[in-house]
Amino acid sequence: MKQFKDRIGIFDSGIGGFSILHRIIKKVPSVTIDYISDDAFSPYGEKSDTEIIKRSQIITEMLLQRGCSLIVVACNSATAAAIKALREKYRDTPFVGVEPYINILNHQDHSSEIRKAAVITTELTGRSEKFKILKQRIDPSGSILHVSMPGLAAIVEIILEKGLSENLMEDLRKELKPLKILNLSHLILGCTHYPLIADLIEKELGVITVSPGPHVANRVFDLVSPSGKEYCSSFSYLSTGSMKWEQRTSEYLFSLLKHSAVKEGS
């Protein structure tokens, strides 16, 4: 394994990985970050494992060519389908993936006791072996329900791109309807797009949402050697739709979080 990792590559099918990126920027400010949004191939959650493995390798190559020495797969679907193949192919490069934080069962704080919980994912993540094994290991009694949400990631993309309108809120309500009747206390967000509208989900369903971002950022923090820089004020961004690298500021990123449940300073 390489020792010095101050250039991190992050990717997702779209802007979902921003829910991980902002946590990394806050926790590990001394790194240089390249973010790839694979819009040209989204959504990942409806593709086959073979397609996602191939696509994840193409994106990884692009990030390695930029000089990244640590790759964050900021997507539950790509982690479920491809992280094993990536680790086997690029043995010198550490990969950090994202999984639904079912571990909440073991780390409950008293202020939010679980009455009834569910985990929501894309279809790909939900049918993956990786997810089934994780769920069976942490929740062998099956106390946490699982629901696949075919259209939710796409709704999140549109809300963030166009702003929240009454029509979009209606689409969101329809998509969340099967969850509403479950009368949940907690909802584990198993797709990185979902935390970007956690606030809206919490209000609509009256639940507490659980996101993996802070745990992923802690893992990255453990792997990165400090470089002495103090604040990561911008990051490089490429959409595979346009194939042009641009510089984006952290302020821009944080301004996109207004529907997330991220509180000031957290």
Q: What is the identity of the amino acid at 209?
A: T
As a whole number of angstroms, the distance between CA 224 and CA 234 comes to: 18
Q: Taking a C-beta distance cutoff of 8 angstroms, is the pair 167, 102 a contact? A: no
Residue 186 makes contact with ligand DGL by CB under 6 A: no
Q: What is the identity of the amino acid at 21?
A: L
Stretch that binds ligand DGL, among 43-51, 111-119, 128-136, 175-183 (CB under 6 A): 43-51
Interface with ligand DGL (CB under 6 A), residue from 10, 73, 144, 191: 191
**Nearer to ligand DGL by C-beta: 70 or 72?**
72
Rounded least distance, CB 111 to ligand DGL, Å = 27
Interface with ligand DGL (CB under 6 A), residue from 37, 60, 122, 250: 122
Nearest residue to ligand DGL, scored by beta-carbon proximity: 45
Residue 45 makes contact with ligand DGL by CB under 6 A: yes
Stretch that binds ligand DGL, among 42-50, 163-171, 179-187, 253-261 (CB under 6 A): 42-50
Of 191, 159, 182, nearest to 45 by C-alpha is 191
Stretch that binds ligand DGL, among 38-46, 51-59, 103-111, 198-206 (CB under 6 A): 38-46
Whether 68 sits among the annotated catalytic residues: the reply is: no
Kindly name the residue from 10, 75, 187, 262 that is annotated as catalytic: 75
Can you count the helices (H) and strands (E) in the chain?
10, 10
Interface with ligand DGL (CB under 6 A), residue from 28, 75, 96, 220: 75
**Nearer to ligand DGL by C-beta: 131 or 235?**
131
Residue 159, classified by CB atoms within 10 Å of its CB into exposed (0-12), middle (13-18) or buried (19+), is buried
Cα 263 → chain centroid:
18
Interface with ligand DGL (CB under 6 A), residue from 6, 13, 55, 71: 13
**Nearer to ligand DGL by C-beta: 6 or 81?**
81
Identify residues 135-174 at the interface with ligand DGL (CB under 6 A). 153
At which residue do the structure tokens 């479950």 appear? 182
Identify residues 207-266 at the interface with ligand DGL (CB under 6 A). none
Kindly name the residue from 191, 200, 216, 217 that is annotated as catalytic: 191
Binding residues (CB under 6 A) for ligand DGL: these are: 12-14, 16, 42-45, 75-77, 122, 125, 153, 191-193
The catalytic residue positions are 75, 191
